[in-house]
Structure 1
Amino acid sequence: MTRFSLDTLRAFSEAVFRHYGVPKADAAQAADVLAAADRRGIDSHGVARLITYADMLDAGRINPKPDIQVVRETQSTATVDGDNGLGLVVGPAANRIALDKAEAVGTGAVSVRNTNHFGIAGYYVLEALERDCIGMAMTNSTKLVAPLWGAERMLGTNPIAMAFPGQDEPPVVIDMATSTVAYGKVEIAKREGTPMPHGWAIDAEGQPTTDPDAMMDGGAQLPLGSTYEQGGHKGYCLATMVDVLTSVMSGANWGPFAPPFALQQAQPERQVGTGIGHFFNAWRIDGFMDPDRFKARIDDWVHTFRATEPAPGTDGPLIPGDPEREAARIRAEQGAPLLAPVVADLRTISERTGVSLT
């Protein structure tokens, strides 16, 4: 591990995006989303992803200067076409539309097509909290996950995030893949040369595997819960919900037809839409009750769950968002720890672009 200051990583990302023709404000926005992942300890979605964004921009597979358009709209809903821009730019723009609508009429729901990987879903719901709203964000992604009782990739990891503000307590922030783990965790296991836990994946023959290479070489991840007996049907259904809201409803590519995020991944055999899809929802709290009363009730909820009798060998239940807050506290002082392969990727980008990693 090598530690880098969060400011250094953010500045490097922004300069790299500028190198590839991303306008200044958009480059800053994209770097902010990546920095949020590194700050919150979600290492699979921070600068570790920068090499893939750079490759896609370099190959002309992502539009650095998208003309983001609202193509269908009511007072509380909209469909946005991202013009094949960076998801790190299209996502925040669409999320702002959802929040603007929530502020105007109480709720806002925005589906997005023709976009790309948008970073951590949690970024968007934290933005909702800044505007005193409850937020929800989700996206579909390249096929990596087998449906329950399936032996091939058909769905993305299809994450969901949601956040609720507290008064004196930190917010409750839920951010999770609908697969057993995010694909980035498989990548980390490969980089570290360690086996995956049982239940994460199957190999090309549909057999359970703990070898990251076996999953990557024609295997698949499993839905949250892994098997039917452990609730895998629930993860499969959650992934289906995300796929429909983000892509069937927006006009993006759904299921196995979602385009790949990396150059080395094969293109789907056909297109059923444009790009991948996102979905954002926001609610103004005062549409339901007084905001201060709601936040006080969230505080009471948090206090109650923190007082739960701990299970043997544990410190008791965490509140959703606790691990990320603790990571942010430590990394603000110590910087973000990067694995050697990630540092090597950043140095490759530096050599390619002339942007200094200092």
Structure 2
Amino acid sequence: MSEKIYWIDFETMEKFMVDVFVGVGVPLEDAKICADVLITSDKRGIDSHGIGRLKPIYYDRIKLGIQNPVTNFEIVREGLTTAVVDGHDGMGHVIGKKAMQLAIDKAKKYGMGMVAVRNSTHYGIAGYYSLMAVKEGMIGITGTNARPSIAPTFGVENMLGTNPLTFGMPTDEEFPFVLDCATSITQRGKIEVYDREGKDVPKGWVIDENGNARTDTHQILKDLVKGTAALTPLGGIGEETAGYKGYGYATVVEILSAALQGGSFLKGLLGFDENNKPMPYHLGHFFIAINISEFTELENFKKTTGEILRQLRNSKKAPGQDRIYTAGEKEYEAWLYRKDKGVPVNEALQRDMLTLKKELNLTQYSFPFEE
């Protein structure tokens, strides 16, 4: 029997998330930023990083004492086009938004801006910050390291995080070009979605300690934490399908998220101390804003970029295929589909929301899935 999915409108869901964040100690204005990042993910159809992460990632970590609800955004070093920020283990969404805004402000004045961050926490979808730059007529680039999940090529130990490398560029179309993806074949969040749906993960996404493929979703999530399972990098297992490329790009993100800012890296991001007790993750990020108008007219850039994308989509299709997509197109179509429907809430997510409502006494909300 298939589970019952309910749709909750975006306004209600965003308000609910704001109230949850406030209820666990996040200041109101910061709570609005956090909720905006999460609802943006749901609006774009990225269910792995939206409301589904509210309880298990942010709420639970604050309750556990390994993430600070009040964010101290400290600029510890600054140049004309650069800055280094210490986030003091506050809310990654707040740190990320302020850091990208700082990079954008520098790019407006000097053409380019880059901000490196240390001691942060999970900042939601990376594309949110690239889109900030796009809205200002700029190219936005960001990346973040994460708790170890990926094994190096020819290795089986989870060493690197899923480490997204994300680009956003304005176009003359209804939607920008936004490439927002992990440097692994998949990310932990998508496996969590499969777990909530009771599905096995595809073969080749995860390997065990002997290098064998794993598909048992629920146990995989446990073993990723224990270090007895690992995600494979983009390209897959070994060199035959170029897994070394994903491994290399993941390493680039790791370096830019740790070496520039004097931050933690690799096993230092496990989230456990030497006594196996939970501790802050101390993540690092980087944000780059490039002011297009310093290179060419913005409209010319948009037109050329749009033409590149249109020619790609209009190129010859493989037999049986109706369409070719470009990055950001599916997310735009997800928004068109969801804008009048809201966020899909499965049974696992329903339980999380009811738990949050009860624990925080949010009696002003009445959801259709309540008994």
TM-score bucket (shorter structure): over 0.9
Q: What is aligned with 1:231?
A: 242
Q: How many residues align?
A: 351
* Aligned residue number for residue 101 of structure 2: 96
Kept in 1, the 8 Å contact 2:33–2:94? The answer is yes
Q: Is the 8 A contact 1:309 1:316 kept in 2?
A: no
What is the letter of the counterpart of residue 255 of structure 1? L
Aligned to 1:338: 345
Aligned equivalents of 2:334, 2:174: Cα separation in 1: 17
Gaps of 5+ in 2: 367-371
Range with bigger deviation, 56-65 or 324-333: 56-65
What are structure 1's unaligned runs of at least 5 residues?
A: 261-265
Q: State the distance in 2 between where 1:221 and 1:339 align.
A: 25
**Cα deviation per residue 1:19-50 (whole Å; 9 max; x = unaligned)?**
12211111100100000111111111101111
Q: How big is the shift at 1:268?
A: 6.5
Aligned-pair distance for 1:57?
1.2
Q: 1:205: how far off?
A: 3.5
Whether the aligned pair in 1 keeps the contact of 2:153 and 2:247 (CA below 8 Å) is yes
State the distance in 2 between where 1:54 and 1:215 align. Answer: 23
Alignment match, 2:131 = 126
String of CA shifts for 1:163-195, please: whole Å, max 9, x gaps: 111124521111000000111111112222211
Q: Which residue of 2 aligns with 1:354?
A: 361
2:332 to 305, 325, 328: 325
* Aligned equivalent of 2:264: 253
What do the CA deviations read for 1:239-267 (whole angstroms, capped 9, x no partner)? 0000000112212211121143xxxxx44
Q: Displacement of 1:145 after TM fit? A: 1.2
Superposed CA RMSD in Å reads 1.7
1:60 to 2:71 alignment: no
1:48 and 1:168, CA in 2 relative to 1: closer, same or farther beyond 3 A?
Answer: closer
Q: 1:42 aligns with which of 23, 41, 46?
A: 46
Partner residue, 1:279: 286
8 Å CA contact 2:143–2:287 kept in 1: the answer is yes
Equivalent of 2:193 in 188, 195, 202 = 188
Structure 2 CA distance for aligned equivalents of residues 127 and 355 of structure 1: 31
The corresponding residue for 1:291 is: 298
- Scaled by the length of structure 2, the TM-score of the pair is 0.91
TM-score, structure 1 as length reference: 0.94
How many Å separate the matches in 2 of 1:113 and 1:259? 15
Q: What is the aligned partner in structure 1 of residue 369 from structure 2? A: none
| Deviations 1:189-221, CA, capped at 9 Å, x for gaps | 222221111210012443111111342222111
> Per the alignment, in what secondary structure is the counterpart of residue 95 of structure 1?
helix
With over 3 angstroms needed to count, the CA separation of the structure-2 counterparts of 1:108 and 1:269, relative to structure 1, is: farther
Answer whether contact 2:147 2:281 (CA < 8 A) is retained.
no
Partners of 1:38 and 1:46 within 8 A in 2: yes
Distance 1:235 1:338 in 2: 32
Tell me the distance in 2 between the aligned counterparts of 1:20 and 1:109.
32
* Cα distance in 2 between the residues matched to 1:335 and 1:274: 32
1:263 equivalent in structure 2 = none
For residues 246 and 85 of structure 2, what CA distance do their matches in structure 1 show? 27
For 1:14, give the aligned amino acid: V
Matched, 1:143 2:148: yes
Aligned partner letter, 2:55: I
Q: What is residue 27 of structure 1 aligned with on the other side?
A: 31
